[in-house]
Copies of this chain bind each other. A is one copy, B any other.
């Protein structure tokens, strides 16, 4: 009985343990549909963070990747750079997933970690990286952000 299926909102301050395990907030696990088989797909984000997709959402992305022609050097490079960071992970009885070392390095994760719902995916951030990145960006792009808010927020 969930209200918003496969939809993630809110932010949570969690900790990465010494084995590289990370608990996924119960709120996020509980909105997953049965089809996801208790699994997520973790991959590299376009910002310096980790992106986590429900299995069924990732499968759509994967279908798109398959359509890309291997004749294009750009395509090959793009597919390679994302897929090498990608893996499917099941969460354990306590709701934790194992984060791969290359992703921990990419997102520069330490013990303290910020988990952010991004509607159809989840982001994992080093809190310091996030606040630095967002502060600069909002100063530069405030007008474009206002424009978006104007279009969407009722």
Contacts and interface: CB of A to CB of B under 8 A. Distances in A.
A13 to B, nearest CB: 9
Contact of A119 (B55, B81, B83, B137): B83
Given A46-B76, A149-B78, A154 B118 contact: no
A93 interface: no
A65 B152 contact: yes
A152 B61 contact: yes
A91 to B, nearest CB: 13
A102 B11 contact: yes
A10 B66 contact: no
A116 to B, nearest CB: 5
A80 interface: yes
| Tier of interface size on chain A | 35 or more
A82 B83 CA distance: 25
Interface of A: 3-4, 7-11, 27, 37, 39, 46-47, 55, 57, 59-62, 64-66, 68, 70-71, 73-88, 100, 102, 116-121, 123, 134, 137-138, 141, 144-145, 148-149, 151-154
15 contacts: A10-B84, A11-B84, A46-B71, A46-B73, A47-B73, A61-B152, A61-B153, A61-B154, A65-B119, A68-B148, A70-B121, A77-B138, A78-B148, A81-B138, A120-B154
